Structure 1
Amino acid sequence: MPLQDLLARLKEVPQSGSRDDYLRFVTFAGDAALRRDGGPEHVTGSCFVFSPAFDRVLLCFHRKGQFWVQFGGHIESNDASVAEAAEREAREESGVGDLVLLSSAIVDLDRHDLHAGFSCTAHWDIGFAATIDPKVDIAVSDESEDVRWFPIDELPDQVPTGFGARLKYVRRRAITLIH
């Protein structure tokens, strides 16, 4: 039951205004919150992929958004949870078939409005983390124009506003999952 799993995972996130907003949205919208066709705003799953030393991050250049960002996308009917959707999206978009999340613990919450290139108006994105060896083969998917490793402190210019600070926060949260 993806909805019950998501509500339980959200309750594990440290209390904040953002977490409370997510709980309200998901509780009010119910299962529709997890479907792309469930309304103009819905939940998406994303995955921040780090090197094992957490000094590099693998990003994709998003075709519609025209910026560098973590992997992610909509939940599909065969995804058992938002974490599974995030893992699947990261595999598909990076070409790394054996990528596995560090944990099913949520490391990021980012609600963002979308522009005219999208069919929906907002994504309630829920982020997870993974690590892979930077030497592994990567591939560009249909949804991305490029996939590339970047040092954490040397991100490209074309990232969403506030992405650098978000990435550093996610990195700290991800490191706690393995220690």
Structure 2
Amino acid sequence: MIHADAVRVLNAWTPEEAGQQQLRHDYLAHLAEHPDGLWRSCRPAHITASALVVDPAAGRVLLTLHPKVGLWLQMGGHCEPGDETLAAAALREATEESGIAGLRLLAVGGAAEPAPVLLDSHQVRCAGKDQPENTHLDVQFLALAPEGAQEEISEESLDLRWFGFDALPELTDASLRRLVQLGRKLVG
């Protein structure tokens, strides 16, 4: 069950930064209080999963121009009932939104399986313009693109483009820039 996996993954993950440690505790508290804490229907907050698609050989990342947010972001979104793990949810979202088959989530810090690289809590209006904002408790992974990967834009995006590590578009936020910097360091 994905709920048990999320608890296991977050308990096993040891972030270096105090702010990330606090977010990890907040996410675990959310999951302890909400058996439905990974589903879009859980309000005012729910866990989401995302992945930054990285092409290490070319020194670039693939970003999507999100239609609701109006920013260039990593691939990601809501967990679905068919997702058995957080990593599976992040990989499914990255594959669907990038159109790239053969993505592989990075195992970091000597882990045997893919592990989060960052957590990010942000407000978003995912239930519609007439509904109150929700908090997305995003668990972020890195996805490695296979050599020669060809992206294909999905209906969930206004645009889809590769950007160099040092050439990110203006319409990004600090969270994405931080994720890209960390991704660059980890694939390095």
Which residue of structure 2 aligns with residue 127 of structure 1? 140
Alpha-carbon distance between aligned partners in 1 of 2:61 and 2:130, rounded to the nearest angstrom: 26
Alpha-carbon distance between aligned partners in 1 of 2:22 and 2:58, rounded to the nearest angstrom: 28
Kindly indicate whether the alpha-carbon contact (under 8 Å) linking 2:50 and 2:94 is maintained by their aligned counterparts in 1.
yes
Alpha-carbon distance between aligned partners in 1 of 2:182 and 2:22, rounded to the nearest angstrom: 16
Which 5+ residue runs of structure 2 have no aligned equivalent? 16-20, 108-113
Kindly indicate whether the alpha-carbon contact (under 8 Å) linking 1:47 and 1:70 is maintained by their aligned counterparts in 2.
yes
Distance 1:81 1:110, change over 3 A: same
Which residue of structure 2 aligns with residue 5 of structure 1? 5
Which residue of structure 2 aligns with residue 39 of structure 1? 43
Q: Which deviates further from its counterpart, 64-73 or 120-129?
A: 120-129
**Secondary structure, aligned partner of 2:53:** strand
**Secondary structure, aligned partner of 1:86:** helix
Alpha-carbon distance between aligned partners in 2 of 1:69 and 1:171, rounded to the nearest angstrom: 16
Calculate the TM-score normalised by the size of structure 1: 0.88
Distance 1:153 1:49, change over 3 A: same
CA-based RMSD: 2.1
Which residue of structure 2 aligns with residue 88 of structure 1? 92
Give me the identity figure in percent: 36
Matches within 5 A, 1:1-179: 1-15=1-15, 16-30=21-35, 32-53=36-57, 55-103=59-107, 104-115=114-125, 117=129, 120-133=133-146, 135-172=148-185, 174-175=186-187
User: By percentage of residues, which structure has more helix?
Assistant: 1
Calculate the TM-score normalised by the size of structure 2: 0.84
Deviation beyond 3 Å, 4+ runs, structure 1: 115-120
Counterpart residue type for residue 147 of structure 1:
L
Counterpart residue type for residue 167 of structure 2:
E
